Amino acid sequence: MVQAQPSLLTKKIKAQPLQGKHDELQRNHEALWNTAHYLDQIVEEDQNEILTRRTKARSCVSATNEEDQSEVMRLHHERGRPKRGHASPPRTRKTKARAKYASEGDDQLSKLNSYTDCIERRLKSEEAKATEFEAHLGDLQGRNDKLTEHNEDLEDRLITKEIKAQAFKAESLQTLRNVIVEVQTECRLCDTWSDSKKCWKSEAIRSRSQEAVDLFEIGAGNQQARVQKWILMNSSSHKRSKLKPYRLSTTSFNAITKLHEKLFTTSTRWWSKTKEAPWRTVHYLDEMVEQDQRSSMKTVHYLDEMWSKTKEALEQDQSEVMRLRQGVVYLKKIWESYEQQ
């Protein structure tokens, strides 16, 4: 059995790995998740503070209302029934200031609640985008694995075809040698149908068997001239052995020429097929490798674009957090001024 020789064309084809990019995206996802958790903590603290201050403001407002009601009752008792159009006494400066601060506090609380709702919506949308991106990354990893398996399958098929081509080449050459030797041993160059052992030309034909094999294996140039050269070589060997030189008849010469043309045509077709098939397979594999490389580059560019978008969204979230902190500081100042008054 013919062993396959290692070829430079059958090299290992591997798709570009995406493990490094996957690790980077995983780290970015973890950082984004930690930021979202931190934002949740800040929002929860702000909500607790808002509830505390809202309770305190309501208690202050209720106390103020009770004081005002007691004052109204006292004035009503002292002055008697109020006139029409003056059901309640006019508010004092302190009461107006308290009402003003309470309305401003409610406005700030509503703004802060709207900010927190917006941040929560954006965090949910970013989390959904991260989940979708992770699923898409898993899909790309699966496609990369399929491409790797397909490349390995193509490589195995190329090696199998190369082994079959070499085996077919050896078998065809051996068959061609056997046919040539069989034709030579039959000794039908002359017009006699005698036994090859009794024919006086058989020894000369056997002595020139290697030249005949080389002649048929070359398979190029003028066939008739090469056959005539082979005949002249045989005739010269008979001259050296002091035998009577012989000449071929027209029928024998035409038969040998047709046999040579048939063998030459068969060998030429076989060589063209065996030489073109591996090259076609190699060109196909080169095209597949180029397609895999282009798809890998598109995947890398897409991942870079997605990471840039995620980074921009993270920066926007950080800026939004800074604005939220400034709002909280402003609200604290308002409440401090309110408590001082």
Confidence of residue 21 (pLDDT cuts 50, 70, 90): low
Nearest to 89 by CA among 110, 68, 108, 104: 68
Confidence of residue 56 (pLDDT cuts 50, 70, 90): confident
Cβ atoms of residues 209 and 180 within 8 Å: yes
Quick one: pLDDT at residue 142? 77
When comparing pLDDT for 174 and 201, which is higher? 174
Quick one: pLDDT at residue 77? 62
| The pLDDT of residue 211 is above 70 | no
- The predicted-structure confidence for 25-42, as pLDDT tens digits, reads as follows 777 777 777 777 777 777
- Of the chain, the percentage scoring pLDDT greater than 90 comes to 0
| Four-residue CA torsion sign, 110, 116, 122, 128 | negative
> Is 0.75 surpassed by the pTM of this model?
no
Quick one: pLDDT at residue 240? 43
- Reported residue count of the chain is 341
- The predicted-structure confidence for 260-288, as pLDDT tens digits, reads as follows 566 656 555 555 555 554 555 556 666 76
| The pLDDT of residue 335 is above 60 | yes
| The pLDDT of residue 256 is above 50 | yes
Classify 244 as helix, strand or coil: coil
- The predicted-structure confidence for 131-160, as pLDDT tens digits, reads as follows 787 777 777 777 777 777 877 777 777 777
Mean pLDDT of 189-204: 46
Quick one: pLDDT at residue 248? 46
Quick one: pLDDT at residue 121? 81
DSSP category for residue 92: P
Mean pLDDT of 231-245: 45
When comparing pLDDT for 2 and 54, which is higher? 54
The CA–CA distances, whole Å, from 181 to 202, 210, 252, 273 equal: 11, 9, 17, 26
- The predicted-structure confidence for 104-129, as pLDDT tens digits, reads as follows 767 777 777 777 777 778 777 777 87
Question: Domain locations in the chain?
Answer: 28-340
Confidence of residue 45 (pLDDT cuts 50, 70, 90): confident
| The pLDDT of residue 4 is above 60 | no
* pLDDT mean across residues, the chain: 64
- The predicted-structure confidence for 57-114, as pLDDT tens digits, reads as follows 777 666 666 666 676 677 666 655 544 444 455 556 666 666 666 677 677 777 777 7
- Of the chain, the percentage scoring pLDDT greater than 70 comes to 43
Quick one: pLDDT at residue 103? 72
Tokens standing for residue 262: 């048939």
Rounded Cα distance, 1 and 263, in Å: 24
Lowest mean pLDDT among 28-42, 202-216, 318-332: 202-216
Return the C-alpha torsion angle 133, 138, 140, 141, nearest 10. Answer: 140
DSSP category for residue 91: P
Quick one: pLDDT at residue 247? 46
Quick one: pLDDT at residue 6? 42
